[in-house]
Amino acid sequence: MRTTDFSAAPPQGRADAMFIGATKYTGPLAMWHTIRTWFPMVRQMKRMSGYRWHTVYYRFPYTIGTIAFFEDQDAMLKFARSRHHRDLMCWLTDEGATNATAGFIRLFTAQPHGYSNGTWRAEDGTMSHMPTWTPLSTETTGPRVHR
């Protein structure tokens, strides 16, 4: 069911902004050093207004990444300016390739509409199917959904 009401969705479903990033560390010692800044940074992020949810992922051998959701882009950018986040980014980048050899950050914003069903439905609770697919950028209306 298409919707613009995500009030019944879990925290990440209610977010309008998403961050995804990763850092490729130079080795286990650099990864270990991150912990000194990481836990205070996460505590600070969770206390900030607009924080919704986050998770961490690992890619062998030395890459750690984060996916985080925020109420809106302003909340996400306020976190990026926070002291602990700033300290970590400076430590990663100020010493050339001593601590990290690569990294990326991507910022995404949610469209006002999406899809919901089941427990996370915020409408009247009926489970109806969509009559058409969401249109692609080259279409004005999407094709009918075949049953």
Phi-psi region of 99 (alpha: psi -120 to 50; beta: other; left: phi over 0): alpha
Using DSSP, state whether 14 is helix, strand or coil. helix
Say if residue 41's pLDDT is above 90.
yes
**Residue spans per domain, the chain:** 11-109, 116-146
> Region 124-139: what's the mean pLDDT?
79
Q: Give the type of residue at 68.
A: A
CATH of domain 11-109: 3.30.70.100
Which pTM value belongs to this model? 0.84
Say if residue 3's pLDDT is above 60.
yes
